[in-house]
Amino acid sequence: MPSGPVITIDGPAGSGKSTVARKLAARLGIAFLDTGAMYRALALKMLERKLDPTDEEALLEMTRQADLQVDCGPTHQRIKLDGRDVSEAIRTMEVSRATPAIARQPKIREVLVEHQRRIGRHLGAFVTEGRDQGTVAFPDADVKFVLDADVHTRVERRLIDLRADGEDVRPQDVLANLQTRDEGDKSRWAALLEPGQAIIIDTTEMSLGEVVDALEIAVRQHTQSKEASSK
Ligand code: DC
């Protein structure tokens, strides 16, 4: 098991976190963990079971019983829910809309954060992305990033992804969904905006390659300075 680096990427939906995390991990040859997929898988289960999104007890019980298997490596992540691969099924707008009902439950978050830490201990070195990775799940991470972008740019990026998946969605619906999710999510990573807490990158005017380059340089600088100070 490799030990470190642990790299966290937090920020709002549509800022490019998943794509960047995946590419950065591939370049560094370590696994990437998309924690949003875990929240999405539980939202899918809630929808399929037709559970009441306001019934905290029922949702917690559902979470405790869910068998979530996350298989992650440098170039792939697959997620299984109760033995079924749901990696594609969790990407619909319907699931995106349902996910805040899961993400706002503190007890469900505790269960998922514990699960993420177990995965992290097993992996040793990894890039993880979500909304609370540098704050709650892995506060001792080696390098912490926040990726942000103007809301209209984020809407455009989400539209491209959803349409590529064959979903017929309207920009105003994507905007409303992003704004609702941002409201609840930002409190989980806002502490990273304090000076010295994280490297903050506004990706609005940057290409994907430029963002990945910037993160890779920062990680390599961190590794070099760690090696130099241990000599
Ligand atoms: O990154 P994403 O769009 O796949 O995330 C799905 C939802 O899960 C999003 O509304 C925020 C939530 N989430 C969270 O609360 N904490 C995380 N660590 C990851 C995602």
- Averaged over 196-215, what is the pLDDT? 96
What is the CA(187)–ligand 1 centre distance, in A?
A: 13
pLDDT of residue 180: 85
Cβ atoms within 10 Å, residue 119: 20
Residue 2 pLDDT grade (very low, low, confident, very high; cuts 50, 70, 90): low
pLDDT of residue 227: 82
Helix (H) or strand (E) holding 179: helix 171-189
Instruction: Look up residue 121 and give its amino acid.
Output: R
- Averaged over 208-230, what is the pLDDT? 92
pLDDT tens per residue, range 129-152: 999 999 999 999 999 999 999 999
How far is residue 101 CA from its own chain's centroid?
17
Q: Is the CB of 14 under 6 A from ligand 1?
A: no
Rounded Cα gap, residues 195 and 198, in angstroms = 8
- Averaged over 115-119, what is the pLDDT? 98
Cβ atoms within 10 Å, residue 133: 30
User: Is residue 172's pLDDT more than 70?
Assistant: yes
Domain locations in the chain? 6-214
Rounded Cα gap, residues 174 and 41, in angstroms = 20
Candidate of 63, 79, 185 to mutate for ligand 1, largest count of ligand atoms within 8 Å of Cβ = 185
pLDDT of residue 200: 96
Q: Assess contact for 222 and 142: CB atoms under 8 A.
A: yes
pTM: 0.93
pLDDT of residue 74: 85
Candidate of 70, 99, 104, 165 to mutate for ligand 1, largest count of ligand atoms within 8 Å of Cβ = 99
Q: Is the CB of 129 under 6 A from ligand 1?
A: no
Q: What is the CATH number of domain 6-214?
A: 3.40.50.300
